[in-house]
Amino acid sequence: MSSILRSFRENDFVRFAARFSITIILLMGVYRFYLWSTAQQEDLDWITYQVSFLSHKLALLLGVANCEFNCFMDGCRIGVEGKMINVLEGCNGIKLGFVYIAYLIGVNHNYKSTFIQAVLGIITIQFFNVFRIGMLVVLRDLGGDAYFFFIKYIFGVFIYVSIIALWLLKPAIDKRLDKLF
């Protein structure tokens, strides 16, 4: 029995899977606690608010006149009256960032590289998410619900594929970062 356990412990993939799973559970746990504490204060979480706020700014920059921005306890509404979209907690993209970071910690090339890639990854995911929501506000304003829903899912899939691509490119990114630092 102990030899089976030892062979499991010495298996690289099992160690990766354990680190990956534990990191996700820890990050999600902390995040859920944070959501619970903001709900206790009858407040909206900071991440959803910031993503909504920046998306609203982007929509204004892209020329959506009279673009309104209202936040409530469960999320924000952005857009022109009658053509608004709801940015709820599940739209803020932070959980995707957690899964991305969990993979980096699971592989654990070195701490410096993991930290740099985690920060850059979160910024990249949030950048694309704000761009996605800003563009959706514009498309909703321009009309054509079919096009709006098409773009809504295409942008989502693009972010997922980008994360998987970053995972696959990680060895090459690690080599570059090792040379830099």
Partner 1 sequence: MILLFAFISIDLAAQGGVPPPPSDPPVPLDGGLIALIAAGGAVGYKKYKQRNTEV
Nearest-approach distance from CB 93 to partner 1, in angstroms: 5
Extract the tokens encoding 58. 């982007």
Supply the minimum distance, in Å, between the C-beta of residue 137 and partner 1. 9
Q: Which positions touch partner 1 (CB under 8 A)?
A: 12-13, 16-17, 20-21, 24-25, 28, 32, 74-75, 77, 79, 82-93, 95-96, 99, 102-103, 106-107, 129, 132-133, 136, 148-149, 152, 156, 159-160, 163-164, 167-168
* Residue among 116 and 170 whose Cβ is closer to partner 1: 170
Residue 84 CB, nearest approach to partner 1 (Å) = 5
Residue 77 CB-density burial (10 A; 0-12 exposed, 13-18 middle, 19+ buried) = middle
Three-state SS for 114-139 is HHHHHHHHHHHHHHHHHHHHHHHHHH
- Say if CB 148 and CB 139 are below 8 A apart: yes
Q: Of the two residues 46 and 158, which places its CB atom closer to partner 1 in the complex?
A: 158
Contact in structure between 57 and 45 (CB atoms under 8 Å): no
